[in-house]
A = this chain, B = another copy of it.
Protein backbone atom coordinates (compact mmCIF):
# COMPACT_ATOMS: atom_id res chain seq x y z
CA UNK A 1 0.00 0.00 0.00
CA UNK A 2 3.02 2.28 -0.06
CA UNK A 3 4.29 1.96 -3.60
CA UNK A 4 5.82 5.43 -3.47
CA UNK A 5 8.30 4.45 -0.81
CA UNK A 6 10.00 1.86 -2.95
CA UNK A 7 9.78 -0.62 -0.09
CA UNK A 8 7.53 -3.35 -1.42
CA UNK A 9 8.89 -5.74 1.15
CA UNK A 10 7.17 -4.17 4.17
CA UNK A 11 4.94 -7.23 4.39
CA UNK A 12 7.87 -9.64 4.11
CA UNK A 13 9.44 -10.79 7.39
CA UNK A 14 12.80 -10.78 5.64
CA UNK A 15 12.68 -6.99 5.61
CA UNK A 16 13.19 -6.80 9.37
CA UNK A 17 16.26 -7.51 11.45
CA UNK A 18 14.93 -6.42 14.84
CA UNK A 19 12.08 -8.37 16.36
CA UNK A 20 9.94 -8.50 19.46
CA UNK A 21 7.12 -10.87 20.24
CA UNK A 22 3.94 -9.98 22.11
CA UNK A 23 1.34 -12.23 23.65
CA UNK A 24 -2.13 -11.37 22.46
CA UNK A 25 -4.18 -10.61 25.57
CA UNK A 26 -7.84 -11.24 26.22
CA UNK A 27 -7.93 -7.50 26.90
CA UNK A 28 -6.99 -6.86 23.26
CA UNK A 29 -10.23 -8.29 21.89
CA UNK A 30 -13.05 -6.18 20.55
CA UNK A 31 -16.77 -6.78 20.64
CA UNK A 32 -16.51 -9.01 17.58
CA UNK A 33 -13.99 -11.30 19.22
CA UNK A 34 -11.07 -10.18 17.07
CA UNK A 35 -8.05 -8.24 18.21
CA UNK A 36 -9.20 -4.62 18.16
CA UNK A 37 -7.48 -2.04 16.02
CA UNK A 38 -6.05 -0.12 18.97
CA UNK A 39 -4.23 -3.25 20.13
CA UNK A 40 -2.37 -3.20 16.82
CA UNK A 41 -1.06 0.25 17.70
CA UNK A 42 -0.04 -1.10 21.11
CA UNK A 43 1.91 -3.93 19.45
CA UNK A 44 3.57 -1.37 17.19
CA UNK A 45 4.41 0.68 20.28
CA UNK A 46 5.93 -2.41 21.90
CA UNK A 47 8.16 -2.86 18.86
CA UNK A 48 9.07 0.80 18.82
CA UNK A 49 9.85 0.96 22.54
CA UNK A 50 11.98 -2.19 22.47
CA UNK A 51 13.85 -0.89 19.44
CA UNK A 52 14.54 2.49 21.04
CA UNK A 53 15.65 0.83 24.26
CA UNK A 54 17.95 -1.59 22.42
CA UNK A 55 19.54 1.08 20.24
CA UNK A 56 20.05 3.43 23.18
CA UNK A 57 17.77 6.12 21.80
CA UNK A 58 15.44 5.76 24.74
CA UNK A 59 16.94 6.03 28.18
CA UNK A 60 14.39 6.78 30.91
CA UNK A 61 14.75 10.32 32.28
CA UNK A 62 17.52 11.16 29.80
CA UNK A 63 17.78 14.80 28.63
CA UNK A 64 16.89 13.83 25.07
CA UNK A 65 13.74 11.90 24.27
CA UNK A 66 11.57 11.02 21.29
CA UNK A 67 8.02 12.09 20.58
CA UNK A 68 5.68 10.60 18.04
CA UNK A 69 4.87 13.02 15.23
CA UNK A 70 2.98 10.68 12.94
CA UNK A 71 1.60 7.16 12.88
CA UNK A 72 0.21 5.30 9.89
CA UNK A 73 -1.11 1.81 10.09
CA UNK A 74 -2.50 -0.42 7.37
CA UNK A 75 -4.63 -3.27 8.64
CA UNK A 76 -4.28 -6.35 6.46
CA UNK A 77 -5.37 -9.36 8.44
CA UNK A 78 -7.25 -10.16 11.63
CA UNK A 79 -5.46 -11.44 14.70
CA UNK A 80 -6.99 -13.84 17.17
CA UNK A 81 -6.78 -14.89 20.78
CA UNK A 82 -4.98 -16.84 22.06
CA UNK A 83 -1.84 -16.28 20.07
CA UNK A 84 1.30 -14.26 19.65
CA UNK A 85 2.22 -11.47 17.29
CA UNK A 86 5.73 -10.84 16.03
CA UNK A 87 6.75 -7.23 15.46
CA UNK A 88 9.60 -6.41 13.08
CA UNK A 89 11.20 -2.97 13.13
CA UNK A 90 13.42 -1.21 10.61
CA UNK A 91 14.53 2.35 9.94
CA UNK A 92 13.01 3.85 6.80
CA UNK A 93 14.78 7.19 6.88
CA UNK A 94 16.89 9.46 9.07
CA UNK A 95 16.25 13.20 8.90
CA UNK A 96 17.81 16.18 10.62
CA UNK A 97 15.87 15.95 13.88
CA UNK A 98 13.52 13.10 13.10
CA UNK A 99 13.59 9.51 11.93
CA UNK A 100 11.02 7.17 10.46
CA UNK A 101 10.50 3.58 11.57
CA UNK A 102 8.74 0.93 9.54
CA UNK A 103 7.07 -1.89 11.45
CA UNK A 104 5.54 -5.14 10.37
CA UNK A 105 3.13 -7.11 12.55
CA UNK A 106 3.10 -10.82 11.77
CA UNK A 107 1.09 -13.88 12.68
CA UNK A 108 3.74 -16.43 11.88
CA UNK A 109 4.94 -15.23 8.49
CA UNK A 110 1.60 -13.72 7.51
CA UNK A 111 1.56 -9.94 7.67
CA UNK A 112 -1.30 -8.64 9.81
CA UNK A 113 -0.41 -4.95 9.56
CA UNK A 114 2.24 -2.53 8.41
CA UNK A 115 2.96 0.64 10.35
CA UNK A 116 5.10 3.70 9.76
CA UNK A 117 5.96 6.07 12.58
CA UNK A 118 7.81 9.36 12.52
CA UNK A 119 9.67 10.22 15.69
CA UNK A 120 11.11 13.60 16.54
CA UNK A 121 14.11 13.94 18.82
CA UNK A 122 13.48 16.53 21.49
CA UNK A 123 15.09 18.18 24.45
CA UNK A 124 13.19 16.86 27.47
CA UNK A 125 13.13 20.20 29.24
CA UNK A 126 12.28 22.63 26.47
CA UNK A 127 10.26 20.07 24.46
CA UNK A 128 11.86 21.61 21.34
CA UNK A 129 13.23 19.44 18.56
CA UNK A 130 16.99 18.94 18.42
CA UNK A 131 19.24 17.72 15.62
CA UNK A 132 20.20 14.06 15.79
CA UNK A 133 23.88 13.87 16.66
CA UNK A 134 26.43 11.51 15.15
CA UNK A 135 26.06 8.91 17.89
CA UNK A 136 22.31 8.82 17.53
CA UNK A 137 22.60 8.41 13.78
CA UNK A 138 25.08 5.61 14.26
CA UNK A 139 22.56 3.80 16.47
CA UNK A 140 19.96 3.89 13.73
CA UNK A 141 22.05 3.22 10.65
CA UNK A 142 22.46 -0.57 11.09
CA UNK A 143 18.69 -0.95 10.84
CA UNK A 144 18.22 1.31 7.82
CA UNK A 145 16.16 -0.35 5.09
CA UNK A 146 17.90 -0.59 1.76
CA UNK A 147 16.61 -1.39 -1.69
CA UNK A 148 17.55 -5.02 -1.25
CA UNK A 149 16.95 -5.02 2.51
Binding site for B on A (CB under 8 A): 1, 21-23, 25-27, 29-33, 37-38, 41-42, 45-46, 48-50, 53, 60-61, 65, 67-75, 78, 81-82, 127
Least Cβ distance of A59 to chain B in Å?
12
Name the prevailing secondary structure of the A interface residues.
mixed
**Residues of chain B lying within 8 A (CB to CB) of residue A25:** 22, 42, 45-46
**Residues of chain B lying within 8 A (CB to CB) of residue A82:** 50, 53
Is there an interface contact between A37 and B71, defined as CB atoms closer than 8 Å? Answer: yes
Is there an interface contact between A71 and B71, defined as CB atoms closer than 8 Å? Answer: yes
Q: Which residue of B lies closest to A117 (CB)?
A: B37
Q: Can you list 26 residue pairs at the A/B interface with Cβ under 8 Å?
A: A1-B70, A21-B23, A22-B23, A25-B46, A26-B45, A26-B46, A26-B48, A26-B49, A26-B50, A27-B46, A29-B31, A30-B31, A31-B60, A33-B61, A38-B41, A38-B45, A41-B41, A50-B82, A53-B82, A69-B74, A69-B75, A70-B72, A70-B73, A71-B71, A71-B72, A71-B75
Nearest 8 CB-CB pairs, A to B?
A26-B49, A37-B68, A72-B72, A27-B42, A29-B31, A31-B31, A31-B33, A71-B73
**Residues of chain B lying within 8 A (CB to CB) of residue A68:** 37, 75
